[in-house]
Chain A
Amino acid sequence: MIDQIKRKKKDTLMSIDLETAAKIASLSRIAMEKPELEAMTNDLNKILAWVEQLNEVNTAATEPLANVNDEALRWREQDIIDDGYRAQEILVNAPSQTAGFFTVPKVVE
């Protein structure tokens, strides 16, 4: 599997190896064992090879487009508090809570 990916690396402009995939999984905060990671590496390389066709398009004089409606985001109007004091309602979905707060595993030693 890994040999295959290394071979592929020479054929295409950009592709990822198992180590890079592990780094992406870590940045994505998804725990992944080796077999799953290998399958994912394979899938991602297929997709990356496929999207490479965008390099055929000359975009030297083109600005990126983020908002189709060409609208500048509106300024927020005066921020008047019209809702709130609903801590209990919001905490209903919390996996763990104490005294009106969300609780998480200890972060500071």
Chain B
Amino acid sequence: MTDLIDLTMLQALEGLAKKSFSAQELTARYIAASQKGQPQTNAYITETYAQAEQAAKASDARRAAGQVGAMEGLPLAMKDLFCTKNIRTTAASKILDNFIPPYESTVSQKLLDAGTITLGKANLDEFAMGSINITSGYGPVISPWSGAEPAKATRKLHAGGSSGGSAAAVAARMALGATGTDTGGSIRYPAAISGIVGVKPTYGRCSRYGIIAYASSLDQAGCLTRTVGDAALMLRSMVGYDPKDSTSMNIAVPDYLASLGKSVKGLKIGIPREYRLEGMPQETEKLWDNTAAMLQSLGAQIVNIALPHTKYALPTYYILAPAEASSNLARYDGVRYGLRVTGESLNAMYENTRAAGFGAEAKRRIMMGTYVLSEGYYDAYYLKAQKVRRLIRQDFLDAFHQCDAILTPPTTSTAFGIDEKTDDPIQIYLTDIFTVTLNLAGLPGLVLPVALCSDGLPMGMQLIGKAFDEETLFTLGDALEKEVGFTAKPPFTA
């Protein structure tokens, strides 16, 4: 019999329905895998195995009683940015080390309602501020792909960020899928370099209620899975209107599973010339061309498009996101929850608490944000960036007159070591150069693995859709996935 951790979600649902195994057996296998994988990857901040066992038992009881949710009995990792009732939620920050939410986020509640089982709270960059998951207050996440390069067997690779724990857990078979959040690429970048699928839906699809805020106009929840079909299933259980989030869109949600297996014939795929960066590894460029050729062979039509303001997306993001972060993180004051470090005055208490509780990257972004919002600089930085943001979105709106979806690399190169490039923050910011544009424009993106590069490490490709058209992405992604036939597993699997 196949090892249960090698099944996809859709296969596991079939096995559960046929009573080939129970949710308790599936969960027990994943708990064992998580226990084995945790010392290797540090994918979890908090492991919740006892609760998972209870939840699996309850799931089997529901199934026996004929109450079967859309994801009944599937064990997941939950990014530790989603508030979970009575389960510690840290955002990977020491300032929230002892925070136990008295409420549940809308997205995690929807997943519970669908019948899922939570194995643990996944590691991330502190407050999701980072691209390679080294800013976590609970240690970096180590990619299960470490050791794939025979020449550098001891090199510890990063798993991407900020949803690094989610990506590592899914790639290492420690969880069947995981939630993530994506503010500048935090789902798509880790998925791309971990050989798995990552989807960020359109801004407004998922409720942000109960997700610890980083940059509210950009933050969006999504999922990391091993297949496109699994992503279609999981995302369907996460999205939907929520009156508790004023930016949640009150529009119908389609059945994404119905988008699978459809023909891509006649779909127009845009290739933006601005993503062909000078100095980008030739291998990445070649993979991009190959993927476009595959879509063409499947009947899609390739069109060249222009997204002229692409190069300004990252600097725009690094004004807007810190500005919003400085405002959102003002709430950590040592008064109502989280860490408190005493001081002689109220101000001293605030300052000491925040000095001790926040890590270096969070402090950097809070200060950057405070500066660009301060009197005399607001127009030059914040307002300017908001204007460039409109131009970036307009580029996409114009391009979508010519095409139905866009194909780009999700990043320039494969994963690097956790202690490389860490002295210059801008070098790390650059990993998000091809993902951040979508957050600024609010568009959906899907990343899927397409190949192993010559260094033995995986690389994905990114599909970008029109606002609220995740369906086309699932159709294209599913067709590509079948054509690519990516089956590589990381050197470490639990």
Contact of B387 among A30, A64, A95 (CB under 8 A): A64
B302 at the interface (CB under 8 A from A): no
B441 at the interface (CB under 8 A from A): yes
- A105 touching B346, Cβ below 8 Å: yes
Contact of B334 among A16, A27, A32, A95 (CB under 8 A): A95
Number of interface residues of B (CB under 8 A): 70
Contact of B386 among A40, A66, A77, A93 (CB under 8 A): A66
B354 at the interface (CB under 8 A from A): yes
Q: How far is the CB of A55 from chain B (nearest CB, A)?
A: 8
B17 at the interface (CB under 8 A from A): no
| A68 vs B437: C-alpha distance when bound (angstroms) | 12
Known A74-B246, A90-B102, A92-B102; judge A54-B312 contact (CB<8 A): yes
Contact of B354 among A28, A63, A69 (CB under 8 A): A28
In this complex, the interface size class of chain A, counting residues with CB under 8 Å from chain B, is: 35 or more
- A47 touching B425, Cβ below 8 Å: yes
- B102 touching A95, Cβ below 8 Å: no
- A27 touching B385, Cβ below 8 Å: no
- A51 touching B381, Cβ below 8 Å: yes
- B385 touching A105, Cβ below 8 Å: no
Contact of A105 among B315, B336, B343, B442 (CB under 8 A): B343
Known A27-B374, A30-B366, A50-B426; judge A94-B336 contact (CB<8 A): yes
Q: Mark A51-70, 1 if CB is under 8 A from B, else 0.
A: 11111110100111111110
| A44 vs B217: C-alpha distance when bound (angstroms) | 23
| A104 vs B334: C-alpha distance when bound (angstroms) | 9
- B315 touching A69, Cβ below 8 Å: no
A11 at the interface (CB under 8 A from B): no
- B374 touching A24, Cβ below 8 Å: yes
A3 at the interface (CB under 8 A from B): no
Q: How far is the CB of B421 from chain A (nearest CB, A)?
A: 14
Contacts of B315 in A (CB 8 A): 50-54
- A93 touching B98, Cβ below 8 Å: yes
- One of B30-38, B225-233, B389-397, B486-494 at the interface: B389-397
Q: How far is the CB of B86 from chain A (nearest CB, A)?
A: 10
B116 at the interface (CB under 8 A from A): no
Q: How far is the CB of A49 from chain B (nearest CB, A)?
A: 9
Contact of A29 among B319, B350, B374, B389 (CB under 8 A): B350
Which residue of chain A has the shortest Cβ distance to B392 in the bound complex? A65
For window 83-115 of chain B, which residues contact chain A by CB distance below 8 Å? 98-100, 102
Q: Which residues of A contact B (CB under 8 A)?
A: 14, 16, 20-21, 24-32, 40, 43-44, 46-48, 50-57, 59, 62-69, 71, 73-74, 77, 86, 89-90, 92-96, 102, 104-105, 107
What are 24 inter-chain pairs, A to B, with CB distance below 8 A?
A: A21-B367, A24-B367, A28-B354, A28-B370, A29-B333, A31-B348, A40-B367, A44-B368, A47-B318, A51-B318, A53-B312, A55-B384, A59-B391, A62-B388, A64-B383, A64-B389, A67-B217, A69-B203, A71-B204, A90-B102, A93-B99, A93-B336, A95-B337, A102-B335
9 nearest A-B residue pairs (beta carbon): A68-B442, A64-B386, A95-B340, A93-B337, A65-B390, A59-B387, A31-B351, A31-B355, A51-B315
Taking A59-B384, A63-B390, A94-B336 as known contacts, 16 extra A-B pairs with beta carbons closer than 8 A to each other, sorted by chain A number, are A14-B377, A30-B355, A40-B363, A44-B364, A54-B384, A65-B387, A65-B389, A65-B393, A66-B217, A66-B386, A68-B203, A69-B249, A71-B204, A90-B336, A93-B337, A93-B338
